[in-house]
């Protein structure tokens, strides 16, 4: 039996697994490590959520309210709340277009089962590597269109070329740059004119300030050419629980029905307890808690930027992201600089080269940490 030869197209280790190994080695030396590399949240889940999950556990311990397998598409109570929230974002969706998932990462690759192998796929980069690597494993023809400092990491469509799939992330991970209405409209028109499907990664949409579209479906025409993927990982602190959703509009050819068929044979659904936890946040108090938490992380990012500014290191000055994307000192590669940070000041950063084409020469800092650790890390950066 042959193995999938497409594995040879990938780096030997996934970038974030590499970071974990480096951190563990450094910890063995007894040093206090501040990990701003992997974008994992450090603050606990909201009591509002855990209370709902505890009640859901009690429901499952009662014969009258016990539930077995969850619906593969997700419970109606959560899908309906999400659809109502989309209305507030300027997008009108039916609950049957929403599919509850175990987070965004897997969906960036799972969605490829709608299209088969051999697709021509465009990634706007630098980009989160999971989607690109999934496409490489499928044997797809992957091309990168790099953003840069001159275009604020928001590249224009390649009008002379055609692609089957286009991956767009806004706000972008790692750069933090966000697409405004005009930017998104341009890409939607391009997709419509070329027959492409946009895979829209909105994992960090909750961090977008007012004035930016939180959903691609807030733009006219998007339902005919876009699938949207979102996650509760960062906004609700669900990195350890796993929950998100994917939207496949009814107007998008027959992909909605195909996706229903796909999950019927490939997915047993997200647990009742998890979905009840996610549902709890869709109330006035819950939304206020999320807003406070997001502002906390974004303030952390601003603190890190001050340290970088004092070190005369360029950074992408966006207000839309929990990450800080900065330039390495002249003549230093991203891996070399991140190694220096780890060995000299015990601060973990992600090398930009891990975010594929256009990422070399930069590094990413995560603001998902306590205020105490962010202040410590900022002081340490000043000593580099």
**Average pLDDT, 10 consecutive residues per value, the chain (384 residues):** 90 74 69 90 96 98 96 98 97 98 96 94 97 96 96 95 98 98 98 98 97 97 98 96 97 96 95 98 97 97 98 96 97 93 94 95 97 98 95
Write out the DSSP string of 79-147: HHHHHHHHHHTT----GGGEEEES-HHHHHHHGGGGT-SS-EEEEEES--HHHHHHHHHTT-EEEEEE-
What confidence score (pLDDT) does residue 80 get? 98
Decide if domain 13-42+285-382 falls under CATH 3.40.50.10420. Answer: no
Structure tokens at 148: 């840069």
Structure tokens at 382: 């000043």
What confidence score (pLDDT) does residue 176 get? 97
What confidence score (pLDDT) does residue 28 get? 65
Structure tokens at 261: 């068929």
What confidence score (pLDDT) does residue 27 get? 67
Positive or negative: CA dihedral 98, 100, 103, 106? negative
Residue 380: how many other CB atoms lie within 10 Å: 16
What residue ranges of the chain are covered by domains with CATH 3.90.1150.10? 13-42+285-382
What confidence score (pLDDT) does residue 17 get? 75
What confidence score (pLDDT) does residue 19 get? 73
**Locate tokens 């089957």: which residue?**
164
What confidence score (pLDDT) does residue 21 get? 72
- Compute CA distances 183 → 28, 48, 212, 315, 364, whole Å: 47, 37, 10, 22, 24
What confidence score (pLDDT) does residue 11 get? 83
What confidence score (pLDDT) does residue 26 get? 67
The dotted CATH code for 48-282 is 3.40.640.10
- Compute CA distances 197 → 56, 98, 229, whole Å: 38, 17, 13
What confidence score (pLDDT) does residue 87 get? 97
Q: Can you tell me the distance from the alpha carbon of 5 to that of 108, in angstroms, rounded to the nearest whole number?
A: 21
- For strands 197-201 and 165-169, give the pairing: parallel
What residue ranges of the chain are covered by domains with CATH 3.40.640.10? 48-282
Q: Can you tell me the distance from the alpha carbon of 50 to that of 46, in angstroms, rounded to the nearest whole number?
A: 7
Write out the DSSP string of 258-311: HHHHHHHHH-----HHHHHHHHTTSSHHHHHHHHHHHHHHHHHHHHHHHHHHHT
């Amino acid at each position: 039996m042959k193995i999938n030869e497409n594995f040879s197209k990938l780096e030997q280790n996934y970038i974030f697994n590499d970071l974990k190994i480096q951190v563990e080695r450094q910890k063995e030396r007894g040093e206090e490590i501040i990990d701003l590399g992997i974008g994992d949240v450090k603050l606990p889940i909201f009591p509002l959520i855990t209370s709902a999950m505890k009640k859901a556990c009690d429901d499952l311990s009662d014969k009258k309210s016990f539930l077995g397998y969850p619906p593969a598409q997700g419970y109606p109570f959560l899908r309906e709340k999400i659809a109502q929230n989309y209305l507030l974002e300027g997008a009108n969706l039916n609950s049957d277009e929403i599919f509850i998932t175990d987070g965004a990462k897997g969906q960036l690759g799972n969605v490829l089962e709608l299209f088969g192998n051999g697709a021509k796929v465009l990634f706007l980069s630098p980009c989160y590597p999971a989607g690109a690597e999934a496409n490489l494993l499928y044997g797809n023809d992957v091309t990168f269109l790099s953003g840069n400092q001159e275009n604020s990491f928001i590249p224009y469509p390649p009008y002379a070329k055609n692609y089957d799939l286009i991956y767009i992330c806004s706000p972008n991970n790692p750069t933090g740059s966000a697409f405004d209405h005009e930017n998104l409209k341009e890409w939607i028109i391009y997709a419509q004119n070329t027959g492409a499907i946009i895979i829209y990664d909105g994992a960090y949409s909750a961090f977008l300030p007012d004035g930016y579209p939180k959903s691609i479906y807030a733009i006219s025409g998007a339902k005919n050419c876009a699938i949207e993927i979102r996650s509760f990982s960062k906004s609700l602190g669900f990195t350890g629980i796993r929950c998100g959703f994917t939207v496949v509009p009814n107007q998008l050819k027959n992909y909605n029905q195909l996706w229903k068929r796909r999950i019927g044979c490939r997915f047993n659904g997200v647990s009742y307890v998890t979905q009840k936890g996610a549902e709890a946040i869709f109330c006035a108090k819950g939304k206020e808690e999320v807003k406070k938490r997001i502002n906390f992380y974004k303030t952390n990012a601003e603190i890190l930027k001050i340290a970088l500014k004092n070190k005369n290191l360029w950074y992408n000055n966006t207000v839309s992201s929990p990450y800080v994307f900065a330039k390495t000192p002249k003549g230093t590669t991203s891996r070399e600089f991140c190694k220096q940070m780890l060995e000299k000041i015990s601060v973990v950063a992600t090398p930009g080269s891990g975010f594929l084409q256009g990422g070399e020469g930069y590094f990413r800092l995560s603001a998902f940490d306590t205020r105490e650790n962010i202040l410590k890390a900022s002081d340490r950066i000043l000593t580099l």
